[in-house]
Amino acid sequence: MRFYEHTDGPNVRRVLENSRSADLMLEMTANGEYRLAHS
The tens digit of pLDDT for each residue in 8-32 reads 999 999 999 998 888 899 999 999 9
pTM more than 0.75: no
Q: Are 36 and 26 in contact (CB under 8 A)?
A: yes
Structural domain range at position 8: 2-36
Give the model's pLDDT for residue 11: 95
13 forms bridges with which residues in the sheet?
A: none
Distance of CA 19 to the CA centre of its chain: 10
Give the model's pLDDT for residue 1: 83
Give the model's pLDDT for residue 22: 81
Give the total number of structural domains in the chain.
Answer: 1
